[in-house]
Structure 1
């Protein structure tokens, strides 16, 4: 299985406050901006491309969202690193056979058609890793 860096998710309190750095300083391009109201997600997302790399700025939609809890516990900054795979189901199966644990309740297709699941940070020595594929796009 090949794992390719897809994007880095960054927790911010306000996308409007964070965007100028990524656009004006890093010369990024705002590719997309949307809201995910899915229960257990509840996040505003801004997708910024800098050359061939993608950054997702993630801001909570309300004070009880998982992103709000993340920021309260760990502060702003890197939330997760995402790796693209050709076949998400196969990647999960292969990793599971190696003892990798997943946060099963995070398996979903986002509002833009990307299938994803998060690896339990217990399996990664504390880093939240997203595996994703684009088979539905």
Structure 2
């Protein structure tokens, strides 16, 4: 199984306040911008590409969203690192055989067709890792 760095998710209070750095200093471009109001997600997203790297700026849609809780507990900054795999179900099975635990309630397909799940940070020594695949792009 190959794990390829897909993107880095960064928690911010306001996408509009954070964007200028990524656009003017890092010469990034906004590839996509959307809101996910799904329960347990509730986040505004700006997908920024800088050269061949992708950063997702993530801001809460409301004060009770998981992203708002994250910022309150840990502050702004890196929220997660995402690795792309060819087959998410296979990657989950392989990882489970190696003792990796997942945050089961995070398994979903987002509004842009990316299938994803988060690894339990207890399995990664504290780092939130997303595994993802793009079934519609096969």
What is the TM-score with the length of structure 1 in the denominator? 0.99
2:38, 2:116 → 1: CA distance?
Answer: 14
CA deviation profile, 1:13-67 (whole Å, cap 9, x unmatched)? 0000000000000000000000000000000000000000000000000000000
Conserved in 2, the CA contact under 8 Å of 1:117 and 1:132? yes
Partner of 2:63: 63
Q: Partners of 2:112 and 2:40 in 1: how far apart?
A: 17
Query: Which residue does the alignment assign to 1:11?
Result: 11
The separation in 1 between residues aligned to 2:65 and 2:24, in whole angstroms, is: 29
Q: Give the Cα separation in 1 of the matches to 2:111 and 2:24.
A: 27
Deviation track 1:64-100 (CA, whole Å, cap 9, x = no partner) reads: 0000000000000000000000000000000000000
- Counterpart for residue 100 of structure 2: 100
* Structure 1: 5+ residue stretches without partners: none
Q: Is the Cα contact below 8 Å between 1:10 and 1:78 reproduced in 2? A: yes
* Corresponding pairs, count: 137
Do the aligned residues in 2 keep the contact of 1:115 with 1:136 (CA within 8 Å)?
A: no
Measured on the aligned residues, the alpha-carbon RMSD in Å equals: 0.5
Q: Secondary structure at the match of 1:39?
A: coil
Flag structure 2 segments of 5+ consecutive residues without an equivalent: none
SS of the residue corresponding to residue 136 of structure 1 reads helix
